[in-house]
Chain A
Amino acid sequence: MRILITSASHDRSAALAHHLAGGHEIRLTERTHVETEHEFVLSALGHDRSTNLLTRDIDAIVHSVEPQPGEDASAQLDAATRGTYNLLMAAAEEGVSQVILLSTLELMASYPPGFRVRETWRPLPDTQPPTLSIHLAEQISREFAREGSLGIKILRLGDVSNKTVADAVSEALAQPVPLAASCRSNESTAPHALSITHVGERPQ
């Protein structure tokens, strides 16, 4: 499988690339240059043809929205929303079969301690990046899934190790590709266009 991983400058993406490289072809991308042993494509995830070329011949994308050093909150939010939309639009046009969005369980942190919070519960972001950014990235992903143009798997990560993240991504990649515009949580087994899985414990 050919896998594109975004936010390549971040440790988690690098660790994920290292983990997946044993069984897959890896392409990394970032808004600034990154030294890596893997194939690397510099991309701002703009709305031009370069984002289509970035996603061409890719089977799966592992996408995360991470800030660049020095970005203010408004710029972080803009990069997360615009970049996610452009990436998913290009992926849909290029026939990418699935996208895994790495989100955060911080979105569910405001529920009272002790509640058994499920994937189907409403996210409760605060007003600042990173949680607002990733919440909007989830919302954008949801619309692509609703239209059936992409299969989207959202992994909301708690405070887990890079190894746990890599295992969760590997498991998601091995699951059937969603085909129809519907939704499931990890309480169901049927493949659908949007799935959400909580990985690890939510912050409380």
Chain B
Amino acid sequence: MNVLILGGTGMLGPNVARELAPAHNLRITDVNPPEDDLPGEFLHLDVADLDGVVAAAEGMDAIVNLSVLRRDRRIAWDVSTRGCYNMMQAAVAHNIRRVINTGPHYTVAGPNVTECFDYDIGPDIPPQSGTNIYAITKSMGLEICRVFTQHHDINVQTYLFYNFKDPEAIQPGEHYAPFVISWENAAEVFTLGLDIELNALPSNCEVFYVFADMPHGKFTNEKTKRILGFQPRQDVEILWK
């Protein structure tokens, strides 16, 4: 499969590229240059550039959007909201039916979803990001994807993460977020997302929480395991053991 990766040279991107490279042809784009050993073709591209995104998507079978900008109030809209719109326009222009989008957990579960009180928080609650700039710009991106899937034969899977860890760098007793995953385990879900038959997904716009099995039960990754066949590694358990 020919796969376009948007925002591919950030923190998660190289892990995803190394995971996908053995089975797929990769076209990786970013505003920042890649590491020396990043597999695939690299294009310098800002996702806020509609024409550039459409051109980069030519000949692709799938788009994976890893672009992220958390705090800058100008660039966050460029990347997370306008970038999603441009990506979906590119998918329409080239008849690309498989799109994988990403974001943080509070794309749907903002401050009104209380991690203090609630358990089994799933990804299919009505999105309620709150006004945090990272959360709301990603949430608007998700809404754009949803609207496009209502009007076009495009399938968008959105993978939401909370916190990434390098297992070898974890210090005993260190603080950890309500859901955590190692970089390499996170990358594995993208192979599943590219492999799954689109008609095996419940709808053409699905959201998944991606994290390791954790004992406290605050959030649930059950849907990710059941539908995508995701297998959490046991490589971050030192956080609570």
Contact = CB atoms under 8 A, between A and B. Distances in A.
Contacts of B82: 74, 77-78, 81
A155 B18 CA distance: 50
Contacts, number: 74
A85 B143 CA distance: 16
B65 interface: no
Contacts of A188: none
B136 A140 contact: yes
Question: Which of A46, A73, A78 has the most CB atoms of chain B within a 10 A radius of its CB?
Answer: A78
A147 B89 contact: no
Interface residues of A, number: 27
B130 interface: yes
Interface stretch (B1-9, B146-154, B204-212): B146-154
A77 B139 CA distance: 15
A43 B136 CA distance: 23
Contacts of B112: 146-147
B86 interface: yes
Contacts of B143: 135-136, 139
Interface in A111-135: 124-127, 132, 135
A127 B148 contact: yes
A125 B92 CA distance: 17
Size range of the chain B interface in the assembly: 20 to 34
A82 B110 CA distance: 19
Interface string B68-112: 000001100110011001101100100000000000000000111
B140 interface: yes
Contacts of A140: 136, 140
A157 B51 CA distance: 33
Contact of A74 (B50, B111, B130, B152): B50
Contacts of A135: 143, 147
A121 B96 CA distance: 31
A46 B143 CA distance: 23
A143 B131 contact: yes
A126 B151 contact: yes
Contacts of A73: 50, 85, 89
Closest 4 CB pairs of A and B: A47-B73, A82-B77, A74-B50, A78-B82
Interface of B: 48, 50, 73-74, 77-78, 81-82, 85-86, 88-89, 92, 110-112, 128-131, 133, 136, 139-140, 143-144, 147-148, 150-152
7 contacts: A46-B74, A74-B50, A89-B131, A126-B147, A127-B88, A140-B136, A146-B112
